[in-house]
A = this chain, B = another copy of it.
Amino acid sequence: MSVKNAFYAQSGGVTAVINASAAGVIETARAHSDKIGTVYAGQNGIIGALTEELIDTSEESADDIAALKTTPAGAFGSCRYKLKSLEANRAEYERLIAVFKAHNIGYFFYNGGGDSADTCLKISQLAETMGYPIQAIHVPKTMDNDLPLTDCSPGFGSVAKYTAVSIREAGFDLASMAKTSTKVFILEVMGRHAGWTTAAGGLAAENDGDAPHILLFPERAFDKAKFLARVDECVKDHGYCTIVASEGTRYDNGDFLADTGKVDAFGHKQLGGVATVLAGMIGNELGLKYHYAIADYLMRSARHIASKTDLDQAYAVGKAAVEAAIDGKSGIMISIERDSDVPYTWHTGEAPLDQVANVEKEMPDNFISDDGFHITQACRDYLSGLIQGESYPPYKNGLPQYVVLKKVLAGKKTGSTFTV
């Protein structure tokens, strides 16, 4: 029997280190060329499999694949596209099998978050449901850190580091200016339903009075009067107040402070602008001068300040996915297992995909302080390890050098087309 080829794709919102997972997959597969043939990468995620737009990664040099480790975002293109159930759209699965067969693909590595885990699970079931033998392994990735059954999600550690570094720096700025100018600074961070990214900002507050002073979590109902009272108290105590606010901050009735009224391809509400709403309250009701920043994509693409730990984990889950496939495994997600908090040590493990798909890990209750405005020591112990270490990209002419791959498409073999 011939050596089977592999399919790898990136899915959902990208991160500063998802390409390190790609490097982990491709370099490990290359090191086992007796077991795994060519790695084909989907152009724009699973869509590339449906449209038979397969990037032949064997055309990329070893140097360029290695450079993925220092390049943010998705080098092969990502997508927000969720496979429907077999019953709802059998044609999609038949098409996937046609493409996989035509290219002799026996391994499927899907690099994404909770929605992608669901896609990966469905692929892993193709042997049973459609009689096509394929091993599907999920390579975890999400800046939201909301995947279950893993210590953390690769991509999150770098977002955490970006947030903690940024609010520390803004805190120093505000401390300088507060005497005659800005008294309140708000940093709005991404992270839809779980407050992990907000919590990470809290790491910057190592000593009493350090920024950030207030964190607003989606897990705690926003109480305007209580919030404004705390801001006022903080300005009186320290001369200024710095805030990290989740884009998902919401009122007791569940309404988001900032609801744009738009939804994404998965039906999630597209949020943004909570900082503007909070700033308006502070200006109007406390009469304090404010500034605010909205980090948005900057936080998840900030490869220049990536966490070395996060980078190592992202590479490790890609590598472990290929090794697990060689071991004959399927229907699993590679997980991160924590050995100790300080120093933070970890190893990769495995989690069954049917327990991962469509489950969101929330912040434990005991990670948020009683008043709802900061993190606890337990949370600090958990988060601290994830931001350890720096891993700077190479620079030329003052700018980080990020690789753009050749992305040579493999010739089409199915003789048919498919429209998504």
Q: What CA separation (Å) do A294 and B169 show in the bound complex?
A: 16
Interface of A is mostly: mixed
Least distance between A264 CB and chain B CB atoms (Å): 7
- A295 at the binding interface (Cβ < 8 Å): yes
12 inter-chain pairs at a CB distance below 8 angstroms, sorted by A residue, are A10-B176, A14-B173, A44-B179, A74-B176, A75-B176, A168-B402, A169-B302, A170-B297, A172-B402, A203-B398, A291-B296, A291-B297
Q: What CA separation (Å) do A226 and B91 show in the bound complex?
A: 43
Which chain B residues lie closer than 8 Å to A58 at the CB level?
Answer: none
Tell me the A177-205 residues at the B interface (CB within 8 Å).
177, 179-182, 185, 187, 203-204
- Asked if residues B173 and A399 are in contact (CB atoms below 8 Å), the reply is no
Q: Given contacts A180-B265, A387-B399, could you give 18 more A-B pairs where the C-beta distance is less than 8 Å?
A: A47-B180, A75-B176, A77-B179, A78-B176, A78-B177, A80-B177, A164-B398, A165-B399, A170-B298, A181-B264, A272-B291, A275-B294, A293-B294, A298-B298, A304-B305, A384-B398, A388-B397, A389-B398
- A72 at the binding interface (Cβ < 8 Å): yes
Interface size in chain A (residues, C-beta < 8 A): 77
Could you say how many copies of this chain the assembly holds? 2
The residue that A297 contacts in the complex, of B173, B180, B289, B384, with Cβ under 8 A, is B173
Tell me the A53-99 residues at the B interface (CB within 8 Å).
71-75, 77-81
- Asked if residues A303 and B204 are in contact (CB atoms below 8 Å), the reply is no
- A23 at the binding interface (Cβ < 8 Å): no
- Asked if residues A298 and B305 are in contact (CB atoms below 8 Å), the reply is no
Q: What CA separation (Å) do A81 and B78 show in the bound complex?
A: 50
Least distance between A274 CB and chain B CB atoms (Å): 12
- Asked if residues B303 and A297 are in contact (CB atoms below 8 Å), the reply is no
